[in-house]
Amino acid sequence: MQIILVGFMGVGKTTVGQLLANTLAQPFIDLDAEFNTVTGYTPGAYMHQFSEAQFRQVEQQILKTQLQQPQAVISSGGGVLTLPTSREIMQTSDFYVVYLASDFAVNIGRLKGDSHPRPLMTKLTAHGLHELWQTRQAHYQSVANLTINTNGLIPAAIVAQIISKLDEEPIHG
């Protein structure tokens, strides 16, 4: 099975992805962790040292490589779909794309409680973050095979919804 989770930072892609992978007995790949393995930098450190544009290019190459996996549950970075070519790569892959959506206030609340501050949380104002969130919603929706609103749901409930949908519409991979 080939599944990739997309959504804004803080929506729970990694947590849900790990649980989903365990439930389906599939390998789990976190693109941010993979970026760290490949480059030796965390995404935030890389953006600070170089630029966001350079980061997105490297991230796109890692995405392309990981989408060659015959079976995996992948957790993407929140901004991986910023580049149109990354959206095209995802849309033309065999991966079933699950968009984890939540309200902006819910996302920000989760991010404020996160033990690992995200670079954009310190770089942007609340208004800037909201604009970024709004812009990215269209990117996520453009590639999604399934959208799940995660507001008020625990990870196990989100995984149950994904599996229920997969049972209704079996996917190949």
Q: Is 14 annotated as a binding residue?
A: yes
> Between 110 and 2, where is the model more confident?
2
CA dihedral 135, 137, 138, 142 (to 10 degrees): 140
Residue 10 is assigned to a ligand binding site = yes
Q: What is the band of 52 on the pLDDT scale with cuts at 50, 70, 90? A: confident
Q: Determine the pLDDT at residue 167.
A: 87
Q: Is 15 annotated as a binding residue?
A: yes
Percent of the chain exceeding pLDDT 70 equals: 88
pLDDT of residue 115: 59
Q: What is the pLDDT of residue 39?
A: 96
Going by pLDDT thresholds of 50, 70 and 90, the confidence category of residue 77 is confident
| pLDDT score of 78 | 86
Q: Check the annotation: does 79 bind a ligand.
A: no
The reply to whether 32 sits in an annotated binding site is yes
- Exposed/middle/buried for residue 95 (C-beta within 10 Å: 0-12, 13-18, 19+): buried
Q: Is 87 annotated as a binding residue?
A: no
DSSP code at position 39: H
Tell me: is residue 12 an annotated ligand-binding position. Answer: yes
Residue 5 · residue 74 · CB < 8 Å: yes
Tell me what the mean pLDDT of segment 33-51 comes to: 92
- DSSP lists the bridge partners of residue 30 as 75
Annotated binding residue 136: yes
Q: pLDDT value at position 108?
A: 73
pLDDT at 173 > cutoff 70: no
Give the angle 46-82-114 at the CA atoms, nearest 5°.
Answer: 60
Domains of the chain: 2-167 (3.40.50.300)
| Helical (H) or strand (E) element with 8 | none
Tell me the average pLDDT across 128-150.
Answer: 92
φ, ψ for residue 85, nearest 5 deg: -65, -30
**What amino acid is encoded at 109 in this protein?**
G
pLDDT of residue 123: 67
Query: Is 11 within any annotated ligand binding site?
Result: yes
Task: Please give the model's pTM, rounded to 2 decimal places.
Answer: 0.90
